[in-house]
Structure 1
Amino acid sequence: MLRWIDVIRFANQGNPKPDKVVEKSEAEWKAQLTPEQFYVTRQKGTERAFSSEMCSRFEPGQYACVCCDTLLFDSDEKFESGTGWPSFTQPAKENAIAYHIDNAYGMKRVETVCNTCGAHLGHVFPDGPAPSGLRYCMNAVALQKVEATTTLEKATFGGGCFWCTEAIFQDLEGVTSVVSGYSDGQLPNPTYKEVCSGRTGHAEVVQITFDPEKISYADLLRIHLTTHDPTTLNRQGADVGTQYRSTILTHNDMQRAEALKIIEEIQPNLEEKIVTDVKPFEVFYPAEAYHQNYYRNNPGQGYCAAVISPKLAKFRKLYQSRLKKASVAE
């Protein structure tokens, strides 16, 4: 999940590499786009506030660049900002959007453009809703609605250090993203240091976005309960504290029923009683940027080499048929 610090870093230090690049001449863009689309996307124009019904539409679907069809936003991240322009809290992918400092009109803002074709989309501001705190204020004319073929779902699990849990679920076919963070505590927007104190009540968790047509919630539960020790209270190996508790935070009644069912299914295979919490999900706070993709970014770090690598190797052997192709090759 991107936050304001990530946006500023991209704007000042360089944007993420796009999946592809689309380049056309001004004449080609004029021939393809309506005059208003051309004015906004290629000449950095701004549409009139409240001029599009897109502001008040929140049905499932996705939003792509009107110029190059690159997927930019999902309706799950859309919210009513009251500004008169469609607003989102996150892009569909980290590299979908590029960011540039905009000093026009006596203001210092961050412009957002399509990272594929350079189309001007709007601006991003740090006054959006939790947990990201971002508001992508977009020109509706720069976007085109695309009906979603699959509705993605979310799962939130805690099983000790989130570096381990993240590394495991990132390998699974059907999982589109894994974000490390904190949940089920009392303090809003906690820091890692505060969570580690054990005084905030939070657990280290991962929030998983997955395609239920490729992997079921039940299978995610089975993998969760068999890749950490769900029988030890407030600890995983040498990691001790309430922040390392085994937990399943359910997003709806169906997930709760499935969690209780899978726990009952797994229990006969274990000598000790499963102590995993099953509680309703409330709020998720993404961990600091350096915690995200931790194992992939730091495979040689001491904890990663000694603890995560052996655990990951065991997991890959046990669930080989569930892995993404890239993970199978590793």
Structure 2
Amino acid sequence: MLKWIDVVKFASVGNPVPDTRVEKTEAEWKTILSPEAFSITRLKGTERAHSSDMCSFFEPGIYACVCCGTLLFDGDEKFESGTGWPSFTQPVKENAIAYHKDSTFGMVRIEALCNTCDAHLGHVFPDGPKPSGLRYCMNAVALQKVESREKKLTLGGGCFWCTEAVFTLLKGVSKVESGYSGGKIDNPTYREICSGMTGHAEVIEITYNPDEITVEDLLRIHLSTHNPTTLNRQGADTGTQYRSIIFYRSEEEKVAAQNIIAEMQEVYDAPIVTEVKALEQFYKAEDYHQDYYSNNAEAGYCQAVIDPKLQKFKQLFKDKLKA
């Protein structure tokens, strides 16, 4: 997660390397952009406040650069800032945005540009909501909405190496990331959460297409592939960081979680202790935790713990597996 100190560092020392570059002449940009989009993105203009409906809509989707189509912001990071311009707390990737010091109009600000094509997008400020504290104040004309059916679901059920390995195999699931959620501090490290003092749970964030797999099926699989009746424990792993938990993003998800827990309770003799809680923030874990099983399949933990879990999972849900 980027913080203000990171933004200042990029603007002062140098920006991250973009995935690709798109460069055109001014004449070429004029042929593909509307006059307003050209004025704002290529000539660093600013649209009138409250001039776009984009400020008022918070439905799922991705926002891309109007010039080159690079994905810049996720609708999940959009919030009502009251400024009259669309506002986001984070870009989709650390290297999606470039930052330049802007000393125009007698003040010092940090300009946000598309790191792929140098399109002027707006400015970034340190007065956004926690935990990042950032407000990417963007010109709506500089963005184009990319419709997406994908949704996200955040679950915890013991070691995230195990849960990630399970959900990666499901059809309809495009991405699974390991991380931390439900605790008291920002940007926790693995060492900190292992102490049990931060209150975070080891979780995975699943990106899925509800046309291919439903949230109800994901929840059934979750409650079938770990023991939801043991409090703060999964096998030999003990501590609050291993608790069984479902984080919901909407009232619809909350109701689905409660209904599936009630349904699955009939399968278990002991009471299900899975916590259902509103998601506040997902913190992505360190890189070495991502794709852990696929990168360490020969490791002792993977063979002793994850392999048997995967075999059982594949037998129970073979109709849900990717080809």
TM range, smaller chain? 0.7 to 0.9
Give the Cα separation in 2 of the matches to 1:304 and 1:9. Answer: 39
Give the Cα separation in 2 of the matches to 1:102 and 1:296. Answer: 40
Secondary structure of the residue aligned to 2:245 is strand
- Does 1:299 pair with 2:296? yes
Give the Cα separation in 2 of the matches to 1:266 and 1:206. Answer: 21
Q: Deviations over 1:272-315 (max 9, x none)?
A: 52533242325234145446625179536957644675257426
Structure 1 residues 39 and 233: alpha-carbon distance in aligned structure 2, compared to 1, 3 A threshold: same
Give the Cα separation in 1 of the matches to 2:261 and 2:290. Answer: 28
Give the Cα separation in 1 of the matches to 2:180 and 2:300. Answer: 20
Asked if the contact 1:128/1:134 (under 8 Å) is kept, the reply is yes
Give the Cα separation in 2 of the matches to 1:13 and 1:239. Answer: 41
Displacement of 1:90 in angstroms is 3.2
Percent of aligned pairs with the same amino acid: 47
Aligned runs of 1:153-302 on 2, under 5 Å? 153-185=151-183, 187-189=184-186, 191-192=188-189, 193-267=191-265, 269-270=267-268, 272-290=269-287, 293=290, 295=292, 299=296, 302=299
Give the Cα separation in 1 of the matches to 2:125 and 2:168. Answer: 29
- Residue 94 of structure 1 aligns with which residue? 93
Secondary structure of the residue aligned to 1:67 is coil
Secondary structure of the residue aligned to 1:158 is strand
Q: Deviations over 1:167-195 (max 9, x none)?
A: 4334433334444444444x242624443
1:94 partner amino acid: K
- Residue 113 of structure 1 aligns with which residue? 114
- Does 1:58 pair with 2:63? no
Give the Cα separation in 2 of the matches to 1:82 and 1:208. Answer: 31
Moved over 6 A (4+): none
Structure 1 residues 33 and 13: alpha-carbon distance in aligned structure 2, compared to 1, 3 A threshold: closer
- Residue 67 of structure 1 aligns with which residue? 67
Give the Cα separation in 2 of the matches to 1:201 and 1:194. Answer: 10
Structure 1: which 5+ runs fail to align? none
Displacement of 1:219 in angstroms is 0.7
Structure 1 residues 209 and 132: alpha-carbon distance in aligned structure 2, compared to 1, 3 A threshold: farther
Give the Cα separation in 1 of the matches to 2:226 and 2:232. Answer: 12
Asked if the contact 2:124/2:134 (under 8 Å) is kept, the reply is yes
1:243 partner amino acid: Q
Displacement of 1:126 in angstroms is 4.5
The CA RMSD measured in Å over matched residues stands at: 3.7
Give the Cα separation in 2 of the matches to 1:128 and 1:304. Answer: 41
Structure 1 residues 188 and 209: alpha-carbon distance in aligned structure 2, compared to 1, 3 A threshold: same
Give the Cα separation in 1 of the matches to 2:303 and 2:290. Answer: 17
Displacement of 1:67 in angstroms is 1.9
Displacement of 1:244 in angstroms is 0.8
Secondary structure of the residue aligned to 1:90 is coil
Q: Deviations over 1:23-75 (max 9, x none)?
A: 543322112223332233234x1315516334632253553322234443344
Asked if the contact 2:102/2:111 (under 8 Å) is kept, the reply is no
Secondary structure of the residue aligned to 1:284 is coil
Q: Deviations over 1:4-35 (max 9, x none)?
A: 377667984733525xx655433221122233
Give the Cα separation in 2 of the matches to 1:285 and 1:252. Answer: 15
Give TM-score scaled by structure 2 length. Answer: 0.77
Asked if the contact 1:167/1:312 (under 8 Å) is kept, the reply is no
Structure 2: which 5+ runs fail to align? none
Give the Cα separation in 2 of the matches to 1:250 and 1:181. Answer: 16
2:161 partner amino acid: W
Give TM-score scaled by structure 1 length. Answer: 0.75
Displacement of 1:166 in angstroms is 3.0
- Does 1:46 pair with 2:48? no
Give the Cα separation in 2 of the matches to 1:6 and 1:164. Answer: 32
Determine which of 11, 14, 30 is the counterpart of 2:16: 14
